[in-house]
Amino acid sequence: MSERNGSDEQLNSAGGRIGETSPGNASSGIDRSSPAPAGEQADAAGDVGGSCSSVSDYDGVSIGDSGELPNGTPSSPSDGGTGDSSPTPVRTSVAGSSNRIVVKRDFTSVPCLADMVMDGSYLRHWRGYFWEYADGAYVKIDPDKMLKIVFDKVMSFDPPPNFYISDTDKKHVLTLIRDRTFLDSNAQPPFYVDDSNFTKQEVLAVANGLLWIGDDPHFEAEHDPMLFIPGTLPYDYDQTATCNLWLAFLEETFAGDPDKDEFISYLQRWFGINLIFDCTQHQILLLYGKPRTGKGVLLSGLRELLGKNAHSSLSITSLNEPRFGRTQTLGMRANICDEILSEDRIDTPDLKMMSEGKPVKFEGKFKDAFHAPFTARLSFACNQFPKAKHGKDGIFERLVMIPCNNVVPPEDRDPDMGKDGYWRSVGELPGILNWALEGLMEYRRNDCKLLRPSRSVSLSEDMARTADPLAAWIDEHLQAGEADEPLWHSNMYDACCASCGMNPVPTTHAFTRAIGLAFPTARKQKRRVPGGFDHHWHGIRLK
């Protein structure tokens, strides 16, 4: 008995008691002010800090003046020869309730509460977050929601336990659950959590089963919780489904464009690639055009194809910030944003790494930073070109510009078409899935090469020149070689400022840097001129 009491007073993160404080503390975690409901005396099995044997155990059992438990049974540890070894109630001296008895139960230990939270559910911890199995796939759980899950699970018993669980106690429970459910952060989905030798194959979790789309395409009419797949496509797979309305929308969007077929073919393959976790294409989709040209409707179709648990919607600015916002892309197949903001910069090193699927930095709120491969393909829409520091950046070679030039007249607009859920409401999603799968197969038949449409290449070059007028002027007027006459820096600078029309005008230092980026071997030399000094350039000349 003394050994049992002594162990009950210990509290630690691995196997301590939940809510225990000194008996004389008025803010004790255990409620001793009122007796627990009668008839709830349960067997307590297992050692201190071990797993719980019964979810009906609870703390706070009261014993009255008669020395009997509330159900009328004697307060003796003996059960009259039946062999029951329930713990002997401990009489405590508490102010205002000198005759109160509290029975300590094993289910108030951290490991036992962890067992209770995990009971009947599939929880995994991958890349810094908990994931819960639901509707055939895994969904990321908000950290605050996990704390609530612990509390709700404990309070779901009838009657609820008669003790208080602090936030610290909950975090101890979550730490233990994390250690029990940990998955390798470098593992790229989909993968089996219990099979490290699994040969990676592409598989989609749809509402009515699993669709394997790798080397052995087939459909299984059941889900598997041991297969870690983030996000379920929220509709049934139907091999015979068509999408006539979707195809008509694409035809209308690019009607009259000489490159219509090339653009639609690229979009079909892009939609297919967004179904799998593959960023080896090093490309970023950018739909460009005036308002009311179908850009938002097209991206809305991509969002509905993937489902809400398989895509994020961060702006470029949020993607470039590793803290907090970027964690929303963990486990996502795509990041789809309808608008590029005026402050967004597209020429950042992180954005280039994301387009390649390389590891980038993630840092959640109150969490340690870590690096993990970026899985989301990037799709944006814009009415104007995003900003860039200079046009020589490699990001422009990754941009796939798709122009949308047909403005829909007001009398022909369908206000519901751009709303989330439209394509599902008209029954087009299974057909759009089949259309995207055809694009994926075409991509694989082409040796997994995704060539940019020829006009997209020229549009990206135009965007580079627009993003950096200095580089555009230099490319248009200068070339490598020695000039026949001195090429004075001040003359070139004045000519550039006059023709570019930039406001504010660039500094002479920015002009010098732009020439250095375009012609690394060029150099300037200081010379005395009437009225002061100037520089003339070597290694470049006018075209």
> 412: buried, middle or exposed (CB in 10 Å: 19+, 13-18, 0-12)?
exposed
Specify the length of the chain in residues: 543
Task: With respect to residue 474, please indicate whether it lies within any of the assigned structural domains.
Answer: yes
Contact between 306 and 271 (Cβ < 8 Å): no
Q: Domain boundary at 462, 493, 527, which?
A: 462
Whether residue 441 sits in one domain with residue 293? yes
Whether residue 443 sits in one domain with residue 381? yes
Task: With respect to residue 203, please indicate whether it lies within any of the assigned structural domains.
Answer: no
Whether residue 341 sits in one domain with residue 292? yes
Q: Domain boundary at 437, 462, 487, which?
A: 462
- Dist. CA 32–CA 23, nearest whole Å: 9
| 268-285 pLDDT per residue, tens | 999 999 999 888 888 999
pTM of this structure: 0.71
Whether residue 375 sits in one domain with residue 312? yes
What backbone torsions phi and psi does residue 65 show, to the nearest 5 degrees? -65, -25
| 146-174 pLDDT per residue, tens | 888 887 877 776 666 666 677 777 788 88
Whether residue 410 sits in one domain with residue 491? no
Whether residue 494 sits in one domain with residue 415? no
Q: What is the pLDDT of residue 24?
A: 38
Whether residue 477 sits in one domain with residue 439? no
Sign of CA dihedral 485, 489, 495, 500: positive
The owner of tokens 């929220």 is 234
- Of residues 185 and 51, which shows the higher confidence score? 185
* CATH value at residue 351: 3.40.50.300
Q: What is the pLDDT of residue 251?
A: 94
Task: With respect to residue 299, please indicate whether it lies within any of the assigned structural domains.
Answer: yes
pLDDT reading at 539 higher than 80: yes
Q: What is the pLDDT of residue 185?
A: 85
- Dist. CA 128–CA 368, nearest whole Å: 8
Task: With respect to residue 384, please indicate whether it lies within any of the assigned structural domains.
Answer: yes
- The CA–CA distances, whole Å, from 165 to 51, 96, 162, 172, 459 equal 18, 23, 10, 11, 60
- The CA–CA distances, whole Å, from 394 to 42, 322, 353, 355 equal 68, 21, 11, 11
Task: With respect to residue 257, please indicate whether it lies within any of the assigned structural domains.
Answer: yes
pLDDT reading at 29 higher than 70: no
Q: What is the pLDDT of residue 47?
A: 36
The residue range of the domain holding 257 is 244-462
DSSP code of residue 17: B
Name the nearest CA neighbour of 246 among 311, 205, 309, 305.
305
pLDDT reading at 35 higher than 90: no
Q: How far apart are the first and last CA of the chain?
A: 98
- Of the pLDDT bands very low, low, confident and very high (cuts 50, 70, 90), residue 536 is confident
The full DSSP string for 268-291 is HHHHHHTTSS--TT--EEEEEE-T
425 Cβ contact list (under 8 Å, min separation 6):
416
- Dist. CA 378–CA 241, nearest whole Å: 27
| 316-370 pLDDT per residue, tens | 888 988 887 888 999 899 999 988 876 677 777 888 889 888 899 998 877 888 8
Structure tokens at 231: 């996000």
The owner of tokens 């952060």 is 185
- Dist. CA 537–CA 103, nearest whole Å: 90
Task: With respect to residue 359, please indicate whether it lies within any of the assigned structural domains.
Answer: yes
pLDDT reading at 441 higher than 70: yes
Whether residue 522 sits in one domain with residue 431? no
- Dist. CA 542–CA 525, nearest whole Å: 17
Instruction: Of 66-75, 153-162, 300-309, 353-362, give the range with the top mean pLDDT.
Output: 300-309
Q: What is the pLDDT of residue 365?
A: 78
Report, as an integer, the average pLDDT of 401-430.
89
- Dist. CA 356–CA 351, nearest whole Å: 9
**% of the chain residues with pLDDT over 70:** 75
Q: Domain boundary at 426, 445, 462, which?
A: 462
Q: Strand, coil or helix: what is 504?
A: coil
- Of residues 215 and 164, which shows the higher confidence score? 215
Task: With respect to residue 93, please indicate whether it lies within any of the assigned structural domains.
Answer: no
Contact between 335 and 314 (Cβ < 8 Å): yes
Whether residue 479 sits in one domain with residue 457? no
Range scoring the smallest mean pLDDT among 55-69, 114-128, 321-335, 477-491: 55-69
Structure tokens at 148: 């609530």
